């Protein structure tokens, strides 16, 4: 069985849990940092990134999450989760966890009243993926090691670097689970090729 956690400090946790369901997946609602050690993969949900960062610090998650990424365990960040992962944030002096070599711009598609739903072509996932954008950031720049998976109106909205996957939108708020199942497959392959991950302390 794969154990995939959803960081449950804030955001649409249960929607991610539902989207991750597969016969070989046990989902874990992660509220304590000691739960990380048993996980094969982890989702950072959408929400409010500044609030999430404050809670990450408050509950001692900062270094354990960075170590989780450094150990090569897959992480999937959506919307605010993307911002948490990014190395750089436009007009800010530093990023949050800084585990993925990308730059993001907050609220790039407008505030809440400009929220919208569309279909996207996502490389290796599908040609008509349902995507909900709510106060969505965009990926304004990527390192050469990062693979762009999807664009919307010429802007990058999904990317992958090895075991790290991130998108601007909320796939968990749709009935389309293909993006989550793509991440589940990433976790599967990671566990098969590296069965003994370094422990997170």
Catalytic site residues? 79, 170, 172
DSSP string, 6-24: EE-SSS-HHHHHHHT--TT
Name the pairing type of β-strands 155-161 and 164-167: antiparallel
**C-alpha–C-alpha distance, residues 91 and 83, integer Å:** 13
Beta-bridge partners for 167: 78, 158
Cβ neighbours of residue 187 closer than 8 Å, sequence gap 6 or more: 2, 4, 40, 41, 74
CB atoms within 10 A of CB 198: 12
For residues 59-68, one letter each, b for 16 or more C-beta atoms within 10 angstroms of the residue's C-beta and e for the rest, the string is eebeebbebb
Residue among 97, 19, 23 at smallest CA distance from 65: 97
């Amino acid at each position: 069985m794969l154990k995939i956690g959803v960081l449950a400090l804030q955001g649409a946790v249960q929607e991610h849990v539902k989207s991750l369901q597969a016969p070989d997946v046990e989902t874990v609602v992660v509220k304590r940092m000691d739960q990380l050690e048993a996980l094969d993969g982890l989702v950072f949900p959408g929400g409010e990134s500044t609030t999430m960062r404050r809670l990450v610090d408050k509950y001692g998650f900062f270094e354990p999450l960075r170590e989780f990424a450094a150990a090569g365990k897959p992480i999937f960040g959506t919307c605010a989760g993307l911002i948490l992962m990014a190395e750089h944030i436009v007009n800010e002096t530093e990023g949050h966890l800084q585990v993925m070599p990308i730059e993001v711009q907050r609220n790039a598609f407008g505030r809440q009243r400009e929220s919208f739903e569309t279909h996207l072509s996502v490389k290796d996932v599908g040609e008509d993926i349902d995507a909900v954008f709510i106060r969505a950031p965009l990926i304004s720049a990527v390192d050469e090691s990062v693979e762009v998976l999807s664009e919307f109106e010429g802007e990058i909205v999904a990317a992958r670097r090895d075991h790290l996957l991130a998108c601007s939108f909320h796939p968990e708020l749709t009935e389309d689970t293909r993006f989550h199942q793509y991440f589940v497959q990433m976790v599967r392959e990671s566990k098969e090729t590296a069965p003994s991950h370094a422990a997170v302390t």
